[in-house]
Each structure stands twice: as C-alpha cells, then as structure tokens.
C-alpha cells in the first residue's frame, strides 16, 4: 500500500528566507508524485508533479522539488519565501496500479514572519 | 475554463440529519474523485467515478455514504444519517480520461455535524 509522510506539521520561516518541506513516500514501484498547496479559504492547487525523467521538477510560484529514489523522498523547495506563501502544503503519491487515487501526507503548515 | 466547483461551501447539520454535497467537474473530465479530510488528519480518498460508473469505492467509510454521478456529469455525495465523526472537509477532484493526469481540486465543502 502507498503511504506518504510529511514529518513537519508546522514550519515558520522569515520572509525572504529559503524553505524546504520534506516528503517521504512508500511504494513498490515508481510512483507519480505531487505537491499541492491550500491557501486560506481556497481549494487545493497543484504546485508541481513528477511522473518520470528529470528528477528536479520546476513548478509554479517559484517552487521546485527533487525526486530521490534512493531516499524515497520528494522534497519541496523555494529559495526566497514571500508572505503569500503562507499556506498548507500537501505531498501526494499516485499510481496507475492503484487506480489513480491519490494518497496524501498529513500536510505542513507554513507560517511566514515579516 | 471553469474549474471544479462544489456546493455548498459550508454546511452545518445536526446528528441524524441528511446532507447532500454536489460537485461539478471540469467540462470534459471523465474522472471524478471524492476525498475527505477530517480534523487533524490527512486527506483521504473516498471514491472514483469514470463517467457514471464507480471505478473504486474502497475509501467509502460505511453505507451511510452514497455517491452518484448520473449522466457522467456532476456528482452528489449524500450522508444519511450524519454522525459527529462525519465532520470535515469534503473535496472533489476531476481529471482527464487518458493515462494518469493530475487531478484538479475544488474548494471543498466544510461539513459540521453537531
């Protein structure tokens, strides 16, 4: 069965500082990996996805993520955080063999200090 | 292009009552998914429609939940009778019909059962 772990429940970062959110997954084959963001009062928005190929993936809003098979990780990074990045971030894994349903991590809430 | 819409955005009902949630997917998306996030927990898969057929309903918690997608367009999720533990945010998502495409999420319906 698929599983996703986001070890950090909350992260506080200063505006302009770098951000890294951790995600570890468990799945037998190569999964499809996603990062979603939920801003206050909004739905889930897809930031980026990894299906295959280049293991460094660029997304929207200046985010990137790196797939590391050896570590079963798909960490999300942003070099310089803006106040508007305050939100909850979810890592998710999917697979055709699992019927395309997504398995989510518990989420990481990011607070941005001025 | 309109995104995934959900109605209502909030619903407060008493234990034992019935509630029906509605989801309108992106036009042309054959795949429709329901997910739920209860307080403090991760987002969990409920079920998956392909057009009007239930492809996977392994995540439905019990028989108090009934999902339909008549005509392969919008979907409804009925909870009858509602229990306190049904409180949470119900998300709907849709995706295209070939391969594994990213799922586009609606804003969610926050259900509170008192």
Q: Pick the residue with more confidence: A83 or A53? A: A83
pLDDT digits (tens, 9 = 90+) for B25-46: 999 899 999 999 998 789 999 9
pLDDT of A29 reads 74
Neighbours of B43 (CB within 10 A): 24
CA-closest candidate to residue A48, choices A68, A69, A62: A62
Rounded to whole angstroms, the Cα distance separating A106 from B37 reads 10
Residue A41 pLDDT class (50, 70, 90 cuts): confident
Residues of A with a Cβ under 8 Å from any B Cβ are 4, 32, 34, 36, 42-46, 49, 51, 90, 92, 94-96, 99-107
Question: Count of residues for chain B?
Answer: 114
Contact B112, B83 (CB under 8 A): no
Res B100: pLDDT: 65
């Amino acid at each position: 069965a698929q599983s996703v772990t986001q070890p950090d429940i909350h992260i506080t970062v200063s505006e302009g500082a770098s951000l890294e959110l951790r995600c570890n997954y468990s799945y037998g084959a190569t999964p499809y990996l996603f990062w979603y963001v939920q801003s206050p009062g909004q739905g889930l928005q897809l930031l980026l996805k990894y299906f295959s190929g280049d293991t460094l993936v660029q997304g929207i809003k200046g985010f990137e993520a790196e797939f590391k098979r050896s570590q079963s990780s798909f960490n999300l990074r942003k070099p310089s955080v803006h106040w508007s990045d305050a939100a909850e971030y979810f890592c998710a894994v999917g697979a055709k063999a699992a019927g395309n349903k997504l398995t989510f991590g518990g989420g990481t809430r990011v607070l941005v200090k001025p | 292009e309109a995104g995934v819409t959900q109605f209502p955005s909030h619903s407060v009902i008493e234990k034992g009552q019935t509630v029906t949630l509605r989801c309108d997917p992106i036009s042309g998306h054959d795949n429709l998914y329901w997910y739920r996030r209860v307080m403090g927990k991760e987002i969990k898969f409920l079920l998956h429609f392909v057009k009007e057929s239930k492809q996977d309903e392994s995540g439905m918690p019990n028989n108090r939940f009934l999902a339909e997608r008549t005509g392969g367009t919008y979907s409804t999720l009925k909870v009858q009778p509602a229990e306190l533990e049904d409180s949470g945010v119900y998300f709907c998502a849709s995706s295209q019909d070939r391969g594994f495409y990213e799922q586009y999420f609606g804003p969610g319906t926050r259900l509170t059962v008192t």
